[in-house]
Amino acid sequence: MPAREKLQEQVTILREQLNQEPPLPPEKRDALEELIAKLEVQLELEPATQSPSIADDVNRAVEGFELDHPGIAGTLRNIVITLGNIGI
């Protein structure tokens, strides 16, 4: 599966997890929704115009979800790996 398709699949999984996980505090939910929106924008861009800072944003999100929501953190780690495969 091409990396961009894999990234789209992982973003979809992340959105599903956001809706299935126990309720998140509003600030964490908002931050995750904002991150998902950024990832969706990245999927629309050509690789040459993509921002490498998105990987930093995802890494920070991993830290925020690691303890309380390991499923979300795992999906976010997969996204970081996929971004690296794309060259972001």
Q: Tell me the pLDDT tens digit for each residue of 13-60.
A: 999 988 886 778 889 889 999 999 988 888 887 665 666 688 889 999
Q: According to the model, what pLDDT value does residue 2 have?
A: 79
Q: Does residue 46 or residue 2 have the better pLDDT? A: 2
Reported confidence tier of residue 74, pLDDT bands at 50, 70, 90: very high
Q: According to the model, what pLDDT value does residue 48 have?
A: 57
Reported confidence tier of residue 12, pLDDT bands at 50, 70, 90: very high
- Domain ranges across the chain: 3-43+51-86
Separation CA 41–CA 3 (nearest Å): 16
Separation CA 9–CA 3 (nearest Å): 10
Q: According to the model, what pLDDT value does residue 53 have?
A: 82
Contact (Cβ atoms closer than 8 angstroms) between residue 6 and residue 75: no
Reported confidence tier of residue 10, pLDDT bands at 50, 70, 90: very high
